[in-house]
Structure 1
Amino acid sequence: MQTRPLLAKDLMTRGVLTVPPGMPVNILAQMLTQRGISAVPVVSETGQVLGIVTEADLLRRLASAEDPKKGLLAQILSSQNRQAARYARTHGRTAGDIMTTGVITVEEETSAAHIAHLLEEKGIKRVPVLRQGKLVGLVSRTDLLHAVLDPPPSIKAEAGTEDEQILRAIEDERGRQPWSNGAFVFADVTDGVVRLHGIVRSEEIRRGMCMLAQRIEGVKRVIDEMSVTSGVVMPGL
């Protein structure tokens, strides 16, 4: 059983292949193909991350050949800075020319949950891991699957009979989840079997309530007797 949350240092791929900013693009593309990798960090001589080159950066270079020609008005209205930046990246000759800059990075002690949040929020597939500002690894979406294999811990209940403990734990967890305010739901517990009945306003809240009950330590089974209504549900009414 995992005794602490998984961290970047537990999941990261070590010994990551890196390239200098001056590496020619054609050699870089050949390297990605031969190694079967989809991205490579670009680092300085001192090991600091300057950017990252991905398959998307290389494909953007190829796709630019069929960029539609803009009319005069469109050119005036569009950002010249943006046009110039795209031109430089799609016609660059080195890794430093075409790399994506402003790379999101994490530290070795960053939790897997926070990394997953960053990947989802920023729409990226991987993050470099740093130690004192220098690259020591890379965490990708694939690496995070190892964290998924370690299930969330059960929620422990306080003192009382077992069924009372379960019921109290359900109510305590509901108090920590704002979305459950949209559920007019009651729970009955008998011999570890939780019966949920009442009204919720969406299938998502219904599934959330079932999962909440299932996470409570000692629960043997959850019986869903909830009804979904499209109206606004106000608890306590």
Structure 2
Amino acid sequence: MRVRDIMTRPVFTVRPTDPVEGAAALLADRGITAAPVIDERNRLVGMVSEGDLLRNRVPEDPTAHLRATPEFSTRRPHIVAEVMTRDVVTAWPTEDIADVARTMLSRDVRSVPVLDDGHVIGIISRRDLLRSVLRTDDVLAHEVQERLDAYADQPGRWTATVTDGVVRINGYVDDDEERRVVEILARTVPGVAAVTVKSTVR
């Protein structure tokens, strides 16, 4: 399965000059954990997360301000550019979600912006990944069958069954090109792990 199959869009973004409070309100109101930061050319320049926004907002020692010197600033950040993460993990639309999942776990990130020619076109989160793998075989079989029936020139030309996320398609095809089309149609269903087309050429 590819990133484009499960990514979320449209994407809620912020600017580097936006107030920290505004970014925090966006995350809270939209129920998201992070937002891409884009510049005036709509290019990705960073990510701002709940952790970024909380940092320097919750002091570890309530009396720290009493010992602060003029050189040691206790000033809170005011704009997104002061708190955002600049080293951003990204993905692209055709990337395999298994690769994205491994990267997210190894880099300990919860959301990854999806880029196309440097522009943010979507975002993929751990929640999106979980939804894609928690779909039952019955749901997958139903969705695959719907797509096959919509493409077929007659009902029941192909029958789809699913076991542990693996789709098995039985029926007949006109040629190898149509066999590839049938396989691609099944693979576009989110949650499908693999596809086997057991068909004869008529």
Q: TM-score, normalised by structure 1?
A: 0.50
1:35 deviates by 2.4
2:123 to 138, 155, 160: 138
Gaps of 5+ in 1: 1-5, 70-83, 155-216, 218-237
Gaps of 5+ in 2: 65-71, 136-163, 168-195, 197-202
- Contact 2:2 2:96 survives alignment (8 Å): yes
Identify the residue that residue 58 of structure 1 maps to in structure 2: 53
Report Cα offsets for 1:123-147 as digits up to 9, x if no partner. 1111100001110000000101233
Once the two structures are overlaid, the 10-residue window that deviates more, 22-31 or 49-58, is 22-31
Q: Which structure has greater helix proportion?
A: 1
Identify the residue that residue 132 of structure 2 maps to in structure 1: 147
Identify the residue that residue 39 of structure 2 maps to in structure 1: 44
Q: Secondary structure at the match of 1:137?
A: strand
1:101 deviates by 1.1
Q: Distance in 1 between matches of 2:111 and 2:9?
A: 13
Greater Rg over alpha carbons, structure: 1
Q: Secondary structure at the match of 1:106?
A: coil
CA distance change for structure 1 residues 91 and 114 in 2, over 3 Å: closer, same or farther? same
- Contact 1:23 1:95 survives alignment (8 Å): yes
CA distance change for structure 1 residues 10 and 98 in 2, over 3 Å: closer, same or farther? same
Count of residues in Structure 1 that have an aligned counterpart in Structure 2? 134
Q: Secondary structure at the match of 2:55?
A: helix
1:27 to 10, 14, 22: 22
1:96 deviates by 1.0
1:152 deviates by 5.1
Kindly report which structure 2 residues correspond to 1:107-122, keeping only aligned pairs within 5 A, or say none. Answer: 107-122=92-107
1:100 deviates by 0.9
- Contact 1:19 1:41 survives alignment (8 Å): yes
Q: Distance in 1 between matches of 2:38 and 2:63?
A: 34
Q: Distance in 2 between matches of 1:137 and 1:114?
A: 17
CA distance change for structure 1 residues 48 and 152 in 2, over 3 Å: closer, same or farther? same
Q: Distance in 2 between matches of 1:140 and 1:65?
A: 29
CA distance change for structure 1 residues 152 and 67 in 2, over 3 Å: closer, same or farther? farther
Report Cα offsets for 1:182-231 as digits up to 9, x if no partner. xxxxxxxxxxxxxxxxxxxxxxxxxxxxxxxxxxx9xxxxxxxxxxxxxx
Percent of aligned pairs sharing the same letter: 34
- Equivalent AA in structure 2 for residue 18 of structure 1: T
- Contact 1:112 1:147 survives alignment (8 Å): no
- Equivalent AA in structure 1 for residue 105 of structure 2: E
Over the aligned positions, Cα root-mean-square deviation in angstroms equals 2.8
Q: Distance in 2 between matches of 1:68 and 1:137?
A: 43
List 4+ stretches of structure 1 deviating above 6 A: none
Q: Distance in 1 between matches of 2:130 and 2:49?
A: 21
